[in-house]
Amino acid sequence: MAGGANPESSSTPGRARPWRFTLVLLGLVLVLVIANIAARMRPPRPNRPARSQARVVEKAPPEAPAKLSFTGSSDKLTNTVVLPTLETTIPAGKSAIWCATLAMAWQEMEKTIYKQRIDFEDGKLGRELSDTPLPALAPAAYYVAAGYFEDGIMDRIRRGMAAKFPVATVPNIDPPPGPRASVAFAYLEASVLFKHQFRHNPEALSFVDSEGRRTPVHAFGIREKDKNRGVDSYRAQVEILFRQGSTFGLDMSKQTETYQVVVARLDRKESLKTMLAEMHKRTIEARLKKARNVLGDESVLLVPAMNWRVEHEFTELRDKHVLNPGFEKDFVYRALQMIQFRLNRKGAEVKSYAHSEWMTNGHDAGPNANFICDGPFLIYLRTRADGRPFFAMWVDNAEVLQRHD
């Protein structure tokens, strides 16, 4: 077999080739893996941010100032008054604030202590407080109580408030001097969140008060640059209650179920009750005429933002006597109310308490009209179930509005 080939030696090169190919392939895979890892670790170029990074970095929408524009006693206000009832006359040139907690406390006193309607020395004011229709607030939104100090009424109020409103602060109420002193207490806390948030206006709204003075203020709503936007969201949630010339009424939150926020530009009347009656009348007339009640796709809507807290003592009640037989020696020692109100692009919120101490010896686009509250306007919160307000304010001037610096 001198000229024959060795079978074993001839087969060795054939078996080595697949191993070499496999090693080369593994090397290429390793190079690709290292290159991919290096590419992922390399930071993006300064002028060319990665797509995922561009989505994360988003500018926050502008907001109204969180700081209260006013906080303190009503004695510090010169152009704003706090009213005991909706019927109370509004002084000319003044903004006026009302909340239901005082009437709630008054009627709880009638129910619990006197067990009858109070015949009050100031007959008109007493009748108005007794006759104030209380709104159908959700049970979780309010607390009322009345009783005698010596029977532990303050401990009962603190326990009741802690159970229902654990974050709320209960005011210190000291018993007045004298035997059988009593107190009536009412608290409400209600908010209306817009289903679709409006837009905060970064530019100042020039608010012109009844005296012609201009004040730059923060505002929210639907801006000029929002034309043809929000047709199926924030624009669609506004209902036009009525519109005639420069006067209008708007439901800012027609999709909310329990409470609603209403704003209106209309002529000043002598009282909030008269203005609310005018609102009701015009709303009914507009419905009977089947007027278009939706915003146009290019309508502009701007409302001043608010965030304030005021404390007020009703001196007109102080030292006034009860005239009911058997209670002739009883009189009001003190009546206080606190109201805190916030209104911005997200919604409205009101918190209020009142207490009185008594002693013997609270997509179909309409016309492109604009709705801008750049002058005196009415705002109120009411329950949808019975249409009764629990907060109302005539904004005659910019004293408690959020000024735009």
**Topology of the domain comprising 71-101+188-405:** Alpha-1-antitrypsin; domain 1 (2.30.39)
356 forms beta bridges with: 184, 335
The domain locations on the chain are 71-101+188-405
Amino acid at position 55, single letter: R
**Spatial separation of the C-alpha atoms in residues 277 and 31, rounded to whole Å:** 82
CB 90 within 8 A of CB 271: yes
SS3 391: strand
| Per-residue model confidence (pLDDT) at position 122 | 87
- The one-character DSSP state at 111 is I
| Per-residue model confidence (pLDDT) at position 13 | 46
Per-residue pLDDT of the chain (405 residues; tens, 9 = 90+): 444 444 444 444 444 556 566 665 666 666 665 666 555 555 555 454 444 444 544 566 788 888 999 999 999 999 999 999 999 999 999 999 999 999 999 999 999 999 999 999 888 999 999 999 999 999 999 999 999 999 999 999 999 999 999 999 999 999 888 778 999 999 999 999 999 999 999 899 999 999 999 999 999 999 999 999 999 999 999 999 999 988 999 999 898 989 999 999 999 999 999 999 999 999 999 999 988 898 999 999 999 999 999 999 999 999 999 999 988 889 999 999 999 999 999 999 999 999 999 987 635 566 778 888 989 999 999 999 999 999 999 999 999 999 988
Q: What pTM did the predictor assign?
A: 0.83
Q: What b-and-e string marks burial along 53-70, b requiring 16 or more CB atoms within 10 Å of the CB?
A: eeeeeeeeeeebeeebbb
Please give the order of strands across the beta sheet that includes 70-73: 70-73, 306-313, 331-344, 347-359, 182-193, 142-148
Separation in Å, CA 305 to CA 215, 262, 326, 334: 13, 14, 50, 33
| Per-residue model confidence (pLDDT) at position 56 | 46
| Per-residue model confidence (pLDDT) at position 2 | 42
CB 346 within 8 A of CB 381: no
| Per-residue model confidence (pLDDT) at position 405 | 82
